[in-house]
Amino acid sequence: MRIPLSGPDITQAEIDAVAAVMRSGRLSLGPKLEGFEAALANYVGARYVVAVSSGTAGLHLMVRALGIGEGDEVIMPSFTFIAVANAVRYERAAPVFADIDPATLNLDPAAVEGAITPRTRAILAVHTFGVPADIEKLAAVAARHHLILIEDACEALGAEWRGKKTGTFGQAGVFGFYANKQITTGEGGAVVTNDEKLAARLRLLRNQGRTRIGEWFEHTEIGYNYRMSELHAAMGIEQLKRIEAILARRAEIARGYSHRLAAGSELLLPLSQFADSKISWFVYVIRLAEKFSRIQRDAILETMGRRGIACGRYFAPVHLQRPYKVAGCSLPVTESVADRTMALPFSNALSEDQIDEVCGALRECIEFASCSKKDGKSATQL
């Protein structure tokens, strides 16, 4: 694609840091890992950080370390990446999907409370697209029903609710550092917590069940190879040094899109700000008006692609996918939103001319789709 959907912001500093690790001879469980964990803990305001090989690994370890397992239910959104549900299933617990707020696209606290059963063990709040969930209301629901509150902040590094960073409200939170995230380690993730015992167990589980003081081949329980390498950690250290500049640039691009697309009734733009919170821009996702169908949305995506502009579908509801499809599960807001969302190209390297081109092409496609509908033509004729 001439204009890709996303791309990492890598400088010579990251390249030099990774090369230095390669020359050091220490590639795993070394000073860079400790340095990255310390830097991330300082940034998000958590006492403990356990860096791991991916956000998915972090979710899995968090669920396991908290003792969530067979017979337990975990309430979560369906409008999210499937790894959230997978991590719960890995431990034979059951994901229970609740509907979302139509403005923030995060869990609706009222819907969460309505989904609670005697088997409910935890609420897993996802800060979708970097927009903070209504974490105080969700925490209140959790407290009323004596539930664990955990956070998926994989898309929300730097987001805040009333001055406090997302990922630090519940018993534990998870961040992801894949290449399209605000900062990247290539592959990687981290679990953050203020619970010393939980942090110790997470460290044990990520390294094959081996304690830090144990003999090399002595293991206290079944664990996993979920370690983050020194190379990834070195990259993360350099990325974190630039986090504020990276977030500012992403916010600038989001403002550019919102300014250009503001006029007209065909689109619903993402929230740019709301009371008591700070958005960390992960993606720029627009919604077509309700008069458009999923087929028309998909046709617009295809046409943009033919023009060399990569756009994406965010998200396919988890509760409608084969491994999780359950008869009678209806989430009207989730399903309506998912049929009409489109992610536009979004990275720090995006130029003003490229934003102009994306917005111009999008307007043309939407206008053609509207006219085609009036004329009775098929959406696939775009």
Query: Which phi and psi angles does 203 have, rounded to 5°?
Result: -65, -40
Query: Which phi and psi angles does 338 have, rounded to 5°?
Result: -60, -30
Bridge partner residues of 28 (DSSP): 229
Cis status of the peptide bond prior to 315, with omega within 30 of 0: yes
Structure-token match 């917590």, residue found: 193
pLDDT attached to residue 349: 95
Question: What does the buried/exposed string (b/e) look like for 153-174 if buried means 16 or more CB atoms within 10 Å of the residue's CB?
Answer: bbbbbbbbbeeebbbbbbbbbb
Q: How many helices (H) and strands (E) does the chain have?
A: 12, 13
Strands 160-161 and 277-278: antiparallel
In tens digits, what is the pLDDT along the chain, a chain of 382 residues? 999 999 999 999 999 999 999 999 999 999 999 999 999 999 999 999 999 999 999 999 999 999 999 999 999 999 999 999 999 999 999 999 999 999 999 999 999 999 999 999 999 999 999 999 999 999 999 999 999 999 999 999 999 999 999 999 999 999 999 999 999 999 999 999 999 999 999 999 999 998 776 566 788 899 999 999 999 999 999 999 999 999 999 999 999 999 999 977 899 999 988 888 999 999 999 999 999 999 999 999 999 999 999 999 999 999 999 999 987 899 999 999 999 999 999 999 999 999 999 999 999 999 988 776 555 455 445 5
Strand order in the sheet with 160-161: 164-165, 160-161, 277-278
Question: Is 181 designated active site?
Answer: yes
pLDDT attached to residue 274: 82
pLDDT attached to residue 284: 98
Coil, strand or helix: which one is 48?
strand
| Number of CB atoms found within 10 A of residue 31's CB | 13
Contacts of 350 (CB under 8 A, 6+ apart): 3, 253
Question: Which residue segments constitute the domains of the chain, with CATH numbers given?
Answer: 12-241 (3.40.640.10), 243-381 (3.90.1150.10)
Q: Which two tokens stand for residue 199?
A: 């942090």
State the catalytic residue, choosing from 137, 164, 165, 181: 181
pLDDT attached to residue 372: 61
pLDDT attached to residue 265: 83
Residue 211: CA count within 13 A, CB half-sphere: 7
Bridge partner residues of 151 (DSSP): 125, 173
Question: In the chain, where does DSSP find H-type helix?
Answer: 12-24, 31-44, 55-65, 83-90, 109-114, 135-144, 196-206, 230-241, 243-261, 294-306, 332-340, 352-375
pLDDT attached to residue 114: 97
Q: Which two tokens stand for residue 53?
A: 């090989």
* DSSP code per residue over 275-297: TTEE---S-EEEEE-TTS-HHHH
Bridge partner residues of 150 (DSSP): 124, 172
| Entry pTM | 0.94
